[in-house]
Chain A
Amino acid sequence: MSLQGLFDADVVLSDKIQLFIKNTILDAYPISLRIDSVDFVTIIYSLGVMCYMILYHATVNRVKTENRNISVEDVITINQINTEYMLNDLFFWLLVFIVTFIVLEISCPVSIQCVSIFFSLSFTMLLYTTCSLADTQLVILRSIALFFWTIQAITVIVLTNASVLDGSCILFVNIIFGIFYYISVIEEKMTIIKFLNMRAWCSVLVNFCFILIYINNIICIDVIV
C-alpha cells in the first residue's frame, strides 16, 4: 500500500462494498416517503393575510380617530414599534415565515419538513435583522446581515430546482423583499402610515406571487371511479 498526499481524500470503495455500506446506512436511517398536502398551512396563510389587512385597517382607523396627540404622519419610534405596533409587526413577520415555508415545500421536488421550517425561519430572521438594523449606524453588521440574507435568497432559487414559473415567482418575492429593505434604508423619517403601508403592500404583493405558484401547482384529486 502506498499513500501520498491524503489531503481531501476521496475514498472510493469497490462496488459490492459500496453497496454493503449503503445498505447498512439505510438500515440505520430508515427513510419513509409519504405523499402529503400543504393545504392546511395554505388556508392558514390565506386567512392570515386577510386578518392582517383587517388589523391594518383597525390600526389606521384607531390612530386617526383617537383623540391623542399622535397622527399617522408622525415619525414612528422604536418604543412605539415595541409596544403599540408590535402585533402588526409580528404578524407581518409571521406571514413572511409561513409563505417562505409553503413556497419551499411546493418548489422542492422532495421536501423534509423540519429542514423547510428551519430554512424559512432562518430566512425570516435574517431579513428581520437586516431590516431592523436599517436605521442604525451599525454599517458592518448591516452589511453582513444583508450579505447572508442575499446568499440565502439565491440558495432558495438554486436548491429548490423550481420550474420556470415557480422560479420566476420566487425571484419576484425576493425582489419585493429587496425593495422592502431598500425603502427601510432610504426612509430616514419613517412615519406610522409608511411603516404600516409598507408591510401591508409587501404582504399583498408576496401573496400575489404565492397565488401564481399555487395555481401552477394545484392538482385536482377528484377521481371518478
Chain B
Amino acid sequence: MQDGTFFCYVVFIFDTKMYIMSRCSRIILTFIAMAHNGTLASKQSINLLTYYSIAQCMFIFVCVSCRYRLIVYHVSTTHVDISKMISVKQLWDVFVMSSSPTTLLSNGPQTVLSNATNYSPKVNELDEQLRKYMDAKTPAIHIYTVKPATFVLKYCVGAIHT
C-alpha cells in the first residue's frame, strides 16, 4: 500500500514538473515569436516597460523605507599573517625528523627543528604532539591515494626506539 502511494506521489510530481516545463517552454516560444513579429517593439509594449521600470523602483524604495532589508552574511579575512601557520614543508620536515632513528625525540623534551632552522615557534608544539603519538604507538599520519586500502603509510615506532 505504501509502495503504491509512493508511486502515485512520484507520478504526480513528475506530471506536475512536466506540466510546468511545457508551460514555461510555451511561454518562451511565444515570447520569441512576439520578438520576431514586432509585438515587443510596439508603442504599448514600450510604454508598459517604462511604467514597469518606474513601478519596480518605487516598490524597492517603499520596501527599504518600510524597514525591509536584504540581510546577508559576509565573510572576510583581515590582517593575514602567514608566519603564524606551519607550511606543509615544515610539517613534513618535523614528521620526517620525528620518525627518523637518529632523532632525539625519545630521549627527552628537546625540540627537533624549531631552534635549528628558523622555523616557527609553533613547531615546538607539533613536536610535542608527535612525541605523544610515538609514545602511544599509534600512527600519526596516513597517506591514501585513489585506492585507500592499497597505500597506507606505516609508522614504524619500533625502529625509533632501537
Query: Which residues in A have some Cβ–Cβ distance to B below 8 Å?
Result: 1-14, 16-17, 20-21, 24-25, 27-39, 42-43, 46-47, 49-50, 52-54, 56-57, 60, 105-106, 108-113, 175, 179, 182-183, 193-194, 197-198, 200-201, 204, 207-208, 211, 214, 217-222
Contact = CB atoms under 8 A, between A and B. Distances in A.
Contacts of A3: 143, 151, 153
Given A28-B84, A197-B40, A204 B76 contact: no
Majority SS at the chain A contact face: helix
A13 B86 CA distance: 14
Interface residues of B, number: 65
A50 B133 CA distance: 66
Contact of B68 (A6, A47, A110, A219): A219
Contacts of B77: 29-32
Contacts of B78: 30, 32
B44 interface: no
B57 A13 contact: no
Given A17-B140, A110-B73, A53 B153 contact: no
B141 A42 contact: no
Give the residue among A20, A28, A198 with the most B Cβ atoms within 10 A.
A28
Contacts of B91: 21
25 contacts: A9-B144, A11-B143, A14-B140, A16-B132, A24-B84, A24-B122, A27-B81, A28-B80, A28-B82, A29-B85, A31-B76, A32-B75, A39-B64, A50-B53, A50-B56, A57-B50, A105-B72, A106-B70, A111-B73, A201-B49, A204-B49, A214-B63, A218-B69, A219-B70, A221-B71
Nearest to A194: B41
Contact of B126 (A6, A20, A207): A20
A12 B141 contact: yes
Enumerate the 5 nearest inter-chain pairs by beta-carbon distance, A residue then B residue, closest first.
A28-B85, A27-B84, A53-B53, A46-B60, A28-B84
B146 interface: yes
A49 B76 CA distance: 30
B70 A217 contact: yes
Contacts, number: 205
Nearest to B96: A1
B111 interface: no
A111 B144 CA distance: 32
A202 to B, nearest CB: 10
Contacts of B151: 3-6, 9
Contact of A5 (B66, B82, B150): B150
A206 B42 CA distance: 20
Interface stretch (B8-16, B28-36, B102-110): B28-36
A197 B48 CA distance: 13
Interface string B133-144: 100001111111
Nearest to A213: B70
Nearest to A27: B84
Contacts of A217: 70
